[in-house]
Amino acid sequence: MSYLLETRGLTRRFQVSQGMFRPKATLHALNGVDLRLRKGEVLGIVGESGCGKSTLAKILLNLLAPSEGTVLLDGKDIRALGRMEFTRRVQPVFQDPFSSLNPRKTIADIVTMPLRVHGIGTDAERRKRAAGIMDMVGLPARFAERYPKELSGGQRQRVAIARALVMNPDLIICDEPTSALDASVQSQILNLLMDLKRDLGLTYVFISHNLSVVEHLVDQVAVMYLGRVVELGMTAQVFDAPQHPYTRALLDSALTVAPGQGVPDIGLGTAFPNPLAIPPGCPFQPRCPRAFDLCAQVRPQPVDVAAGGAACLLTEEALRGAA
């Protein structure tokens, strides 16, 4: 079975200062993340602020090196691909369309920029291609000569999507692409991404702190907690029968509608996870409503990337009981 994208054992550590008189501490932002994505599919990555989503996005975009592990694109380590080949094949859409677009460039300049960088086409050909893509993402042709500050947040995010699409990439990494937008605009952008997926057969990694945002867009979901994938499965399976207590809590959480609000209220008390003091046993155990004695001592098995499931002793117990 070949995968367009595969991560194997992705781990990323940071050395962080703890003040002048204390030694630096090691923070595990990612810990052994295994993921697989086939062409034409959408993989959702979900979890609270600080679970490692942006670190993962940066590694997938080859902007940050993992401490351990590899990212494979069509079976090739992305670190061995040239910068030009990589950016031709993998494009980002970031959270904040206000800062990710150059304010001094016109929309046409922004959308054609990747083509210019890659030396593709004449000026007229590039503008023609940009006009086609702008139409596809619902931007009127008259916007071509406007500047980002003249556009609304939703329109700017359409520009960012057009810029990502103009190279006809194999993979688009969307890092919280709707989180900075008003709720009504969020759904327009999600619908646009769904339409583009259907019409162009796009492959996305879609990162969000909000499980409900990804429900209708993604084929499979990876739920992350403190740098680990704690549940992985097909979307319907994860939404209809979540196995990990953390996934249940995320599903129960209210839809976050306030722009910029990064953390859903998941109703698990104040013990916000501290990546510098990951507890022994199950990392989620201090907040878990279903924890039992062993959870403080035994670390659950990592999720099997081929079979999916949850990294939870309750599931392991259930499986043993069924055997």
Ligand X SMILES: Nc1ncnc2c1ncn2[C@@H]1O[C@H](COP(=O)(O)OP(=O)(O)OP(=O)(O)O)[C@@H](O)[C@H]1O
Query: Which residues sit at the interface with ligand X, rule CB under 6 A?
Result: 14, 16, 27, 29, 47, 49-55, 209, 262, 275
Cβ–Cβ < 8 Å for 207, 12? no
Smallest gap from Cβ 184 to ligand X, in A, equals 22
Smallest gap from Cβ 165 to ligand X, in A, equals 24
Contacts for 129-132: CB closer than 8 Å, 24+ residues apart: 129/166, 130/162, 130/166
User: Based on CB atoms, which residue is closest to ligand X, 54 or 237?
Assistant: 54
Task: Please give the Cα distance from 43 to 234 (Å, whole number).
Answer: 9
User: Based on CB atoms, which residue is closest to ligand X, 94 or 143?
Assistant: 94
Residue with token string 């583009």: 196
Smallest gap from Cβ 24 to ligand X, in A, equals 10
Instruction: Write out the two tokens for 114.
Output: 């990747």
Task: Please give the Cα distance from 291 to 298 (Å, whole number).
Answer: 12
User: Based on CB atoms, which residue is closest to ligand X, 138 or 262?
Assistant: 262
Q: Where are the beta strands (DSSP E) in 166-318?
A: 171-175, 204-208, 220-225, 228-234, 309-310
User: Based on CB atoms, which residue is closest to ligand X, 201 or 260?
Assistant: 260
User: Based on CB atoms, which residue is closest to ligand X, 143 or 206?
Assistant: 206
What burial class does residue 38 get, using C-beta atoms within 10 Å of its C-beta: 0-12 exposed, 13-18 middle, 19+ buried?
middle
Smallest gap from Cβ 52 to ligand X, in A, equals 4
Smallest gap from Cβ 31 to ligand X, in A, equals 11
Smallest gap from Cβ 43 to ligand X, in A, equals 16
Smallest gap from Cβ 71 to ligand X, in A, equals 15
- Helix ranges, the chain (H): 53-60, 83-89, 107-117, 123-136, 153-165, 183-200, 211-214, 235-240, 245-252, 313-322
Task: Please give the Cα distance from 262 to 84 (Å, whole number).
Answer: 33
Rounding to the nearest 10 degrees, give the CA dihedral for residues 280, 282, 285, 290.
Answer: -140
Smallest gap from Cβ 272 to ligand X, in A, equals 11
User: Based on CB atoms, which residue is closest to ligand X, 15 or 122?
Assistant: 15
User: Based on CB atoms, which residue is closest to ligand X, 52 or 177?
Assistant: 52
Q: Are strands 68-73 and 25-37 parallel, antiparallel or unpaired?
A: unpaired
User: Based on CB atoms, which residue is closest to ligand X, 274 or 297?
Assistant: 274
φ, ψ dihedrals at 155, nearest 5° = -65, -40
Q: What's the Rg (C-alpha) of the chain? A: 21
Which residues are CB-neighbours of 260 under 8 A, at least 6 positions away? Answer: 179, 180
